Chains A and B, each alone.
Chain A
Amino acid sequence: NAGVTQTPKFRILKIGQSMTLQCAQDMNHNYMYWYRQDPGMGLKLIYYSVGAGITDKGEVPNGYNVSRSTTEDFPLRLELAAPSQTSVYFCASTSGHTDTQYFGPGTRLTVL
């Protein structure tokens, strides 16, 4: 199993551009999560999904959108990139809501 994979690893965007951060897992996990990590801070939940077709907002959802058309994939969309979205983004998955989460390697995004 590859576990949780994320692409791209790095990206620089201009203000107002849009992009999609990809996340995939091959463990047949129902639950998937997107977090952002700012320097010197812990992770904050952006969006999560409890299964294909079901998504919900986390603590900091503004400026982001997600979709979950398949169990494996959980892309995160930035429509109008802003400097405040400069961060490292982590995707995670788990088989059940009481189980431990496995994290991807992260996407480092800079918005200039």
Chain B
Amino acid sequence: GQQLNQSPQSMFIQEGEDVSMNCTSSSIFNTWLWYKQDPGEGPVLLIALYKAGELTSNGRLTAQFGITRKDSFLNISASIPSDVGIYFCAGQLRGSQGNLIFGKGTKLSVKP
């Protein structure tokens, strides 16, 4: 099946540091989504991107839809302890029925 390569797999950072993670694919996507999942919960949408080149912010989070439509990144600035969790990218393929393909996630740990 289709795959999204998400990296890094995990990150251990100090509170206040900036974080960057990305997803790449060999396929073209119409939509890129970034979700955060806390333990025992379902994924919660952080940012949705709909156009190539689009740069969108949500508070301390910024995400971009790559120009080639095959990649996306998520940045978190000035991390805080509640940023801890697993971050997933998800892409919707061109022509699909809304089916999302998920990356394997980036586990973020923040040291106070």
**Could you tell me which A residues sit within 8 Å of B by CB distance?**
4, 31, 33, 35, 40-45, 48, 50, 56, 58-59, 90, 92, 94, 96-106
Contact = CB atoms under 8 A, between A and B. Distances in A.
A84 B75 CA distance: 35
- How many chain B residues sit at the interface, stated as a range, is 20 to 34
A98 B98 contact: yes
Given A31-B97, A42-B105, 7 more contacts: A42-B6, A43-B43, A48-B97, A56-B97, A100-B33, A105-B40, A106-B42
A101 B31 CA distance: 12
B4 interface: yes
Given A48-B97, A97-B97, A98-B30, A103 B42 contact: yes
B88 A42 contact: yes
